[in-house]
Structure 1
Amino acid sequence: MEKDRQRTASKVMLTRVKTALKTVLGKRITIRIAADEHRQPTLTLGMNAIFTVEVKEKGLKNVTPLLALWPHTTAQPWVLVTAYVPDEMGRQLRQHGLCYADTAGNAWLQHPDADLFVLVQGQPRPRKEGTATTAGRAFRKSGLRVLFHLLTQPDLVRQPYRTIATSTDTPVATVGQVMLDLIQQGFLLDEEPRQLLRRDELTQRWVAGYGDTLRPHLLSQRYRWLDADQATGGWQNQPLGAVTLWGGEPAATLLLDGFLVPEFFTLYSTATRPALMRQLRLVPDPTGSVEVLAPFDQRLNFHNPTSPCVPPLLVYADLLLSGDARNREVAQKIYARYLHHPA
C-alpha cells in the first residue's frame, strides 16, 4: 500500500513539474516524461536530452544529505524533481553540478550530449493544491459533467480532446481547461497513455461537487405510486423505456442483487411528465416516495445501454447524499464492488 502511495505521489509530482516547465518554456521545447513501476522515471527535453529522474516529495532544507545519496555512475545525467527549490538551494545545487526542476517552474538543466541549457529561477512557491472547498474548473458545472464521463468511461481519458468533447457534448476549449486543471491538481498524468491519478479521492471530490453544484439545479418532482403495492414488489418490472433510468435505492437494489429493499425511488428521465405518469402510473404528491429528476446529461446509460440503471458512480452519490445511515452502508458496498481503484 505504501509503495502504491509513493508511486502515485511521484507521478503527481512529475506531472506538475512537466506542466510548470511547459508554462515557463512555452512551445520552444518539447517535454516528455516516462514513468512506470518497473523503471526509474526519465525526463526528455527536445529530441535527445534524456535525464534519469530522482523524485523527492519533501522540500529540501540542506543539500548535503542529498549529495551523499546522489547516484553518480549512470548512462544518463540525473535530475532532481521536487516540490520547490528556493533560490539559495538552487545556487547550492548548481554549485555541485546537480540538475533540478520543481513544480513552480524553477529549473537548472544541462545535458552533455545535447545542445541544451535551461536556467529558470525566482518563480514563487506554488499555492497548495485545490481542496474540496476550492473548486477549480474541473469542479464547476461543465467540469463535473466532463469528469463524470472520465470516471465512468475508463478509456475516454486517453482519447484526443476533440473526442472527449464529442462524447461529453462539451466545447473542446472547455475540455482543455478541465484537463489542465486536473493536471495542476495532480489528478491527471499528462503522458501517453494519459491516466487519472488518485481516483478514489477524485471520486469523492466529484460526489461533493455533484451534491453542491449539479444536483440542486436538476428539475425535480415528487410522486406516489397509484398502486401502493408497486413500492413493495413489481417496481422492477415497470417498462421504463429508453429515456428513463433508475437511480438511488432502486438502482442499488438491482446492482447488488436485491441486497436493499428500496423505500425511496429515484428516477432520471427526459420523458415528458404526463407521459411518464401514464407509463408508470404515478400521481403527483409533494411528499411521495418517487422522485423524478431531469438528468444533467442526456446519455446516462452509455456505460451499458441495456441497463435500467444510471452508472454506479451516480448511484453511489445519490445514496450518500440522501443522508440516510442505511444508504451510507449500501453506498460503501456499491463503492467496493464497482468504483474502488487501488492507488
Structure 2
Amino acid sequence: MIHERFKFLNMRETEILDQAINAFTLITGADLKITALEDRKTNADAHLLLNFKDKQQNFFAEVKNEIRSFQLPQIIQQFKDTSSNWMLLAQYIPSTIKSELKGRRINYLEASGNCYIETKDFYFYINDRKVTETRLVKEGKLWNPTGLKFLFALLADKGLLNANYRTVAAAAGIALGNVGPLLAELKEEGFLIQADPTKNAAYFLDNEQLLENRWIELYSSILKPKIRIGRFRWMQEKEDWQKINNKHIIWGGENAGAILTTHLRPEIFTIYTRLDKTNLMKDQKLIPDPKGKVEAISQFWSDDLQQAQEHRNVVPPIMAYAELATSMDSRNQETAERIKNQYLI
C-alpha cells in the first residue's frame, strides 16, 4: 500500500504527486511517470521516470506539502552528492527557497508545474505558473495567533499540560476561555494523550516533533508578523551588545543563539519586550529605521514562564530555534541545529 512506509505518503501528498506530474507533462510535453512507490533503502516516496526526446532519467521523489526554511538543511543533507538523482515535489515552495534549491542544483517540481530539473541530458526551468490551489490553512483556533501562543507555552514548559486553565492562560498570554477548546483541539489532532484515560491521569504530548515543526513553520508566517514592533538602530553604536541594559528586554534570534551556544556572532539584534514602541525607544535609545540592525518584538508569554528558563535573559530555546532555523543564513541554521541538540532533544 502507498501509506505503509517509513514516512507515510498520505492522501494529500499523493494528490500533490499526481498534480505535479500532470502539470509538468501538460506544459512540457515530456513523459513523467511513477514507476514505483515506497523505497525502504533510500526512503524515497516514489521512483519517477522522465522520458523526453529519446532520453531517459530515473529520479527518487521526495514529496511534501510545503517547503519551509527550517527544512532546508535536512533536504540538502538528504540530496547531498546525489542531487541529480532526486526530485523534490511540493504543493508550494517560496521563491527564496526555490532560488536556494536552484543554486544548489536540487531538482524541484511544484504542483502548478513550476520546476527546476537539470541533469546531464535535461534542463527544464519554469517559474511563471501560478499556484493552482491555495495553500492549505489549518482549521480551528490551534493554528491561529492565539493557538500558536498557547502551543508555544506548552512547548516551552511541558508542565503546563497538567496545570490548571488559569495558569496556562497566564503563561501563554491568552484569554482563559480559549484554553479548554484549544486543549480539546490538540487532543483531536493527535498531539495530546493521557497516561490512563480511565483515571484522572497526567497528559503528555504525542507526535511532539511534528507539533514543533508545525509551530516553527507557522510562527514566522502567522504569529510573528502580528507581534513585531519594528526595526530600529541605536543612536550610538554598541561595542558590546551583552553589556546593554536588559532590564526591560530579553534576547532572541541571533543573540539568543550566541548566548545558548557561544557559537554565533550576531549581525541582527533581536529583542523581545513588554514595552510599547515609544517607551522601548526611550529605554534603549533607538531610532526607527527599516534597514536597522535592531528588530523588536512584543513578548506575549508571562514573566513567570520566562523566569523558569535556564537562561532568563534569552527567549526559551524553542523560540530561538524557530527564529534561526527559518533563516536563510547558513550560520543561523547551523546554530539552530546546535540549539536543537543541546536543548530540545
In the superposition, the TM-score normalised over structure 1's length comes to 0.55
Whole-Å separation in 2 of the counterparts to 1:330 and 1:223: 24
Query: For residue 208 of structure 2, what is the aligned residue in structure 1?
Result: 199
Query: For residue 54 of structure 1, what is the aligned residue in structure 2?
Result: none
Structure 2: gaps of 5 or more residues: 1-5, 7-134, 196-200
User: Is 1:307 aligned with 2:309?
Assistant: no
Using the TM superposition, give the Cα deviation of residue 334 of structure 1 relative to its aligned residue in structure 2, in angstroms: 1.0
Which of 307, 323, 331 pairs up with 2:328? 323
Using the TM superposition, give the Cα deviation of residue 318 of structure 1 relative to its aligned residue in structure 2, in angstroms: 1.4
Whole-Å separation in 1 of the counterparts to 2:214 and 2:285: 37
* Shift in alpha-carbon separation, 1:305–1:133, aligned structure 2, 3 A: same
Count residues with an aligned counterpart. 208
* Shift in alpha-carbon separation, 1:273–1:133, aligned structure 2, 3 A: closer
Whole-Å separation in 2 of the counterparts to 1:263 and 1:338: 23
Query: For residue 159 of structure 1, what is the aligned residue in structure 2?
Result: 163
* Shift in alpha-carbon separation, 1:284–1:333, aligned structure 2, 3 A: same
Using the TM superposition, give the Cα deviation of residue 194 of structure 1 relative to its aligned residue in structure 2, in angstroms: 0.7
Alignment of 1:138-177 (within 5 A): 138-177=142-181
Asked if 1 retains the 8 angstrom alpha-carbon contact of 2:173 and 2:300, the reply is no
Percent identical pairs in the alignment equals 33
* Shift in alpha-carbon separation, 1:132–1:319, aligned structure 2, 3 A: farther
Whole-Å separation in 2 of the counterparts to 1:163 and 1:305: 20
User: Is 1:217 aligned with 2:223?
Assistant: no
1:86-111 Cα deviation digits (max 9, x unpaired): xxxxxxxxxxxxxxxxxxxxxxxxxx
* Shift in alpha-carbon separation, 1:221–1:161, aligned structure 2, 3 A: closer
* Shift in alpha-carbon separation, 1:286–1:270, aligned structure 2, 3 A: same
Using the TM superposition, give the Cα deviation of residue 156 of structure 1 relative to its aligned residue in structure 2, in angstroms: 1.0
Whole-Å separation in 2 of the counterparts to 1:331 and 1:134: 26
Using the TM superposition, give the Cα deviation of residue 172 of structure 1 relative to its aligned residue in structure 2, in angstroms: 4.1
* Shift in alpha-carbon separation, 1:293–1:275, aligned structure 2, 3 A: same
Asked if 2 retains the 8 angstrom alpha-carbon contact of 1:132 and 1:208, the reply is no
Whole-Å separation in 1 of the counterparts to 2:136 and 2:192: 17
* Shift in alpha-carbon separation, 1:294–1:264, aligned structure 2, 3 A: same
Using the TM superposition, give the Cα deviation of residue 264 of structure 1 relative to its aligned residue in structure 2, in angstroms: 0.5
Structure 1: gaps of 5 or more residues: 1-5, 7-130
Asked if 2 retains the 8 angstrom alpha-carbon contact of 1:214 and 1:296, the reply is no
Alignment of 1:216-255 (within 5 A): 216-228=225-237, 230=238, 233-241=239-247, 243-255=248-260
Whole-Å separation in 1 of the counterparts to 2:328 and 2:340: 16
* Shift in alpha-carbon separation, 1:213–1:272, aligned structure 2, 3 A: closer
In the superposition, the TM-score normalised over structure 2's length comes to 0.54
Asked if 1 retains the 8 angstrom alpha-carbon contact of 2:173 and 2:302, the reply is no
User: What letter matches 1:183 in structure 2?
Assistant: K
Q: Secondary structure at the residue paired with 1:138?
A: coil
1:12-54 Cα deviation digits (max 9, x unpaired): xxxxxxxxxxxxxxxxxxxxxxxxxxxxxxxxxxxxxxxxxxx
* Shift in alpha-carbon separation, 1:227–1:162, aligned structure 2, 3 A: closer
Query: For residue 292 of structure 1, what is the aligned residue in structure 2?
Result: 296
Whole-Å separation in 2 of the counterparts to 1:176 and 1:203: 20
Q: Secondary structure at the residue paired with 1:291?
A: strand
User: What letter matches 1:294 in structure 2?
Assistant: S
Q: Secondary structure at the residue paired with 1:155?
A: helix
Whole-Å separation in 1 of the counterparts to 2:141 and 2:277: 33
Using the TM superposition, give the Cα deviation of residue 214 of structure 1 relative to its aligned residue in structure 2, in angstroms: 0.6
* Shift in alpha-carbon separation, 1:290–1:163, aligned structure 2, 3 A: closer
* Shift in alpha-carbon separation, 1:218–1:167, aligned structure 2, 3 A: closer
1:100-125 Cα deviation digits (max 9, x unpaired): xxxxxxxxxxxxxxxxxxxxxxxxxx
Bigger Cα Rg: 1
* Shift in alpha-carbon separation, 1:305–1:254, aligned structure 2, 3 A: closer
* Shift in alpha-carbon separation, 1:294–1:227, aligned structure 2, 3 A: same
Using the TM superposition, give the Cα deviation of residue 138 of structure 1 relative to its aligned residue in structure 2, in angstroms: 1.8
Q: Secondary structure at the residue paired with 2:306?
A: coil
